[in-house]
Amino acid sequence: MRIAGVTRELPDVFTWVLEPPAPFVFSPGQFNMLYAHGAGEVPISISGPPGELVHTIRAVGAVTRVMQRMTAGDPIGVRGPYGTAWPLDELRGKDVIVVAGGLGLAPLRPAILELLGRRDDFGAVTVAYGARSPEEILYRDEVRAWRARFDVDVEVTVDRAGRDWHGPVGVVTRLVAAASLDPKRTVALVCGPEIMMRFVLRELEARGVGADRVWLSLERSMKCGVGLCGHCQLGGRFVCKDGPVYRADRVAPLLYVREL
């Protein structure tokens, strides 16, 4: 497969649009194993709408730093799609709050696009997004476009800001605490650093949204992508095969086990 286009999102984050030789079918929440020839393979969530193969990648390791230097036309190996998906069909008729932190917005983007694309299938839709600073808001133009819609409530908070930022400053859990939601009708989709997700889970529970109505996308060191190598083992589960999207009550106790 080849890279059809590259967008520099942030200094260390870039988005690839790939050109599959045949239609590539996936569900929001799934991931691919991307292989940079001569460098190695990494698991990256799919971050585009149905029909478009898009990946947003942070350059943090040897492989992703090589990927950051690649340009349109370069070949890339793709295995997938793998893993479980956001349960969008189960959410039909319910209010949905999407909670994302940092790069956690990338695996949630296909779900948000589908929620907005099938807007009549769902009740109230809220997106709560936390970024490090105003400069580090991912998909800035698109988030701005979502905020301009009348049928979705989008709130963005940042951890630090100067006076030129007019939005909220503070952690994303504050947005959950302040969100207008009916706990009986609400389900949540959450992705971000695991510590953030634990705090979000507690805040949602305090708002009356139990862990059986929350889905999380977990990140572990995935290598084979098919549940054989054991690198991503989480208790008795393999995140690459049984996850990365889990209903929170099924994994919540494991999130508090140190070094797991």
Segment near another protein (CB under 8 A); pick from 39-47, 62-70, 82-90, 190-198: 190-198
- φ, ψ at 179 (rounded to 5°): -65, 145
Residues numbered 196 to 215 that lie near another protein (CB under 8 A) are 196, 199
Rounded to the nearest 10°, the torsion over CA 50, 75, 106, 91 is 30
Looking only at residues 166 through 185 of this chain, which bind another protein when binding is defined by CB under 8 A?
166, 168-171, 173-174, 178
Site membership for another protein, residue 163 (CB under 8 A): yes
Among 162, 257, 258, 259, binds another protein (CB under 8 A): 162
CB count within 10 Å of CB 172 equals 29
Does residue 103 interact with another protein by CB under 8 A?
yes
Q: Which among 31-39, 74-82, 195-203, 233-241 is the span making contact with another protein, rule CB under 8 A?
A: 195-203
Positive or negative CA dihedral for 246, 199, 124, 108?
negative
Which of 33, 127, 131, 189 binds another protein (CB under 8 A)? It is 131
Cα–Cα distances in angstroms (integers) from residue 186 to residues 34, 125, 199, 221, in the given order = 35, 9, 18, 31
Calculate the CA dihedral of residues 221, 223, 228, 232 and round it to 10 degrees.
0
193 is an interface residue for another protein by CB under 8 A: yes
Cβ-based nearer residue to another protein, 38 or 162 = 162
Under the binding rule (CB under 8 A), the answer on residue 161 touching another protein is yes
Question: Which of 29, 80, 130, 225 lies at the binding interface for another protein (CB under 8 A)?
Answer: 130
Applying CB under 8 A, the span of 61-69, 111-119, 159-167, 218-226 interacting with another protein comes to 159-167
Should residue 160 be labelled a site residue for another protein when binding is judged by CB under 8 A?
yes
> 56 with 15: CB under 8 angstroms?
yes
147 lines the binding site for another protein (CB under 8 A):
no
Report how many residues bind another protein under the rule CB under 8 A: 26
Residue in the structure block whose two tokens are 């140190």: 258
| 192 touches another protein (CB under 8 A) | yes
- The H-or-E segment that residue 249 falls in is helix 248-255
Contact by Cβ (8 Å): 178, 157: no
132 near another protein (CB under 8 A): yes
Q: How many CB atoms lie within 10 A of CB 180?
A: 9
